[in-house]
Chain A
């Protein structure tokens, strides 16, 4: 059974009364352990597709299945619960909580999931050590570089053991060397722990590392390369 399956996914926005067709019938399947990049020009629907898979948005038509469960019909709170348990997000702008330290940021999603304090502390520390950022534990986001913040954001995404990790342009704000380091780290996690990654990016160095490349054009899958 595939981890993610979308069936004829369509999304239409209204932009000042003018309908915008962001997705026009996207059907894909992503298996467990894949390292997939969704690429395509701006406005091709990358982020919209990622939002649908990430249970952040609901489709106008079509269905999204996560671990076999149809998530297109869930309400706001059920979607929240699903995101908490099954999806890890890495955002372009890192989006750590500014008043919490790195360690606390990583613990935060576990706190939301109801993990007891001692356990989440241990798990957060273990994740930081694995990602070689243990020395950042007490630092707040404004005391860290962009690369460091994005590593903390990755640790936050993985620590709850999600089914998939969705990364929306994770290297866009990083220089190429830092971006490469980050991608190394994500690749290692994918290889060693079989974590499923789906990226949306037009950064060539992200595309180069894709083991599966989905190219979107005008809201449709133009190419599916493995």
Chain B
């Protein structure tokens, strides 16, 4: 009955209540869109990094991640691949040789990270093959190289042009080889495209006098969330000679950014909540002051302070819940087309490319963010009603009844 009374009280001044509802609804839509957009953007950044090169887990010789010299190599990958084959959460893996060096064309030169890969393996773990803008992917033959568009622009080379790669070989000499550009790719990150070149694994091994050694094994899992648990199992199996790093350790800055962005959401919640709380205080205070005589009667007939207090809070809570339901529905309806078609930010795509994001951002709404958004308005509504409720219970029943 108290619920019925509270609900009807809300609609005694429907215009005022609708105004509060509108502010709650607009706030909620803003929260949903902002949160889904920022989460979508960060996940896209993370996804692009994982997809273009990092993968979910990397295994190296211990110390490689801190000091990426070719002397830190894996002499025999068989022990590792055997361990990988026995773990069914692993989808694919790719063996790589990595070396920093210089790539020069007839007109220019640039520092690059040269990756020797087994084309079929690499195509399963990264998106380079799908990101080709011109030409074709590595066939596994020698003297073929696939480079990023930005690098091609810098070196002023196109398909079929020759380039020379130079890098320090295992014994300390300079190893070099001539490659023909067979493919030019473009990922979401212009930085990545500027420094990564891909050649056949055996070709690079030969150029660097590497024998059958490799630098790393990059692993793609069925489910990214398992990265830490799979990494710890592999670490146990393989012992201290190798470092097994999940992407969280490989991309600490980006992972931190995810956390920071989640925390920033709470600041955003607080801003929306505080903006709303004043509306609620105002509305509930007006509503209490208009009903002084009625509160006096309620007290006279025996309504206890706690109940009266709760009734005022309940009115605000109902108002908040109503706003939340409508706000979530409308917010979801705004989100749905954006999530399906993406938000086209092509005008800003140069800047976004530098950040490692694509030109089209797909907002992402997680159950957690919906729950957070659903709680925010009712919580602040109740907080905003505390002061008006205190005013209500402080009334003296006799003077309240006589109040006109």
Contacts and interface: CB of A to CB of B under 8 A. Distances in A.
A98 B294 contact: yes
B305 A77 contact: yes
In the complex, the 5 A-B pairs of residues with the closest C-beta atoms, listed nearest first: A84-B302, A99-B8, A95-B297, A83-B302, A111-B1
17 contacts: A54-B300, A56-B300, A80-B299, A80-B302, A84-B301, A84-B303, A89-B297, A95-B401, A97-B297, A99-B12, A100-B5, A100-B8, A104-B4, A108-B5, A109-B301, A111-B1, A112-B301
A109 to B, nearest CB: 5
A181 to B, nearest CB: 23
Interface of A: 51, 54, 56-57, 76-77, 80-85, 89, 91, 93, 95, 97-100, 104, 107-109, 111-113, 117, 156
Nearest to A100: B5
Contacts of B302: 80-85, 109, 112-113
A104 B1 contact: yes
Interface residues of B, number: 22
A108 B8 CA distance: 14
Contacts of B307: 112
Contacts of A113: 302
Nearest to A78: B304
B354 interface: no
Interface string B386-404: 0000000000011001000
Given A76-B305, A99-B8, A100-B8, A83 B1 contact: no
Q: Counting chain A CB atoms within 10 Å of each CB, which of B4, B12, B304 scores highest?
A: B304
A81 B398 CA distance: 16
Contacts, number: 66
Nearest to B393: A76
A97 B398 contact: no
Interface of B: 1-2, 4-5, 8-9, 12, 293-294, 297-305, 307, 397-398, 401
Contacts of A98: 12, 294
A111 B4 CA distance: 12
A98 B4 CA distance: 13
A109 B307 CA distance: 12
B397 A56 contact: yes
Given A99-B12, A113-B302, 9 more contacts: A57-B398, A84-B302, A97-B298, A98-B294, A99-B5, A100-B5, A104-B1, A104-B4, A107-B1
Contacts of B304: 77, 80-81, 112
A180 B301 CA distance: 25
Contacts of A51: 398
A26 B294 CA distance: 30
A109 B304 CA distance: 11
B303 A112 contact: yes
A77 B8 CA distance: 26
Contacts of A104: 1, 4
Contacts of A80: 299, 302-305
A82 B298 CA distance: 14
Nearest to B298: A97
Nearest to A89: B300
